[in-house]
Amino acid sequence: MILRGHASEGRPDVAARVTASAAEYEAMLVEGRRHDAALVDRFRHDMLDWLTSQDTMLSKNWGRFVDSIEALPEKTPCSVCGRRTVARAFVLRIAGAVPRRETVCPSCGSVQDMPLDHTLSMSVTPDGWMHLHGSPPRSEWLARVTIERFFTRETLHWDWPAAATGEPAQSFQVPEPWPHVPFRLSLIMVHGDCEFIVLGCLYRGPLSPEGDAVDSIA
């Protein structure tokens, strides 16, 4: 449903591919066909291409389908700048959709958008390194880094590498220097039967401690 509502947005060739893949995938499920791993893998690739062609804050896409919102009690420090965050749980009025959690930092914006039961975060350093913390999927995943320049809206993309054992590498250094700040940085990960995770920030460079900052990451 989310895909149908936004498939016309972004690049037409990408939208056409993901819409066709989605139709084949749905037919496999509805008609009870044998699980087609190649089809699921193709759908996963097409979904990642489509998601990374959208606004990097993907909650703007699924927000119209929210049925209820709950403020969560935890106010964990932002893994990018250390300021306290606010997290909310969202129940979607889509059959079979799992509840999602979005975590927002007052400096970095949306830093986590993922299924409620997932635990994953990202930290960033001024020399271009990105580090994952938590429990990423072990297999059947794809991920891509996207940088969106704040003023020109120009975008840069790199695929996130895999570790030797198949799961996402814990760290990745983008092959080019960071653009002039601020810029929107995101890691979009598609896994399993096309669930997605978005880790990101409005990166402003190293931040000096502020009144509500904390010194460590829980």
Q: What is the pLDDT of residues 147-178, one digit of tens each?
A: 998 777 789 999 999 999 999 999 999 999 99
87-94 own/partner pairs: CB under 8 Å, 24+ apart = 87/112, 89/116, 90/62, 90/66, 91/66, 91/67, 92/62, 92/65, 92/66, 92/67, 93/65, 93/66, 93/67, 94/1, 94/2, 94/65
Closest CA to 116 of 134, 143, 91: 91
pTM: 0.83
Instruction: With cut-offs at 50, 70 and 90, classify the pLDDT of residue 9.
Output: low
Q: Say if CB 183 and CB 203 are below 8 A apart.
A: yes
Q: Say if CB 131 and CB 173 are below 8 A apart.
A: no
Helix (H) or strand (E) holding 88: strand 86-92
Q: List, for residues 183-210, the tens digit of each pLDDT value.
A: 999 999 999 877 899 999 999 876 444 4
Q: How many residues does the chain have?
A: 218
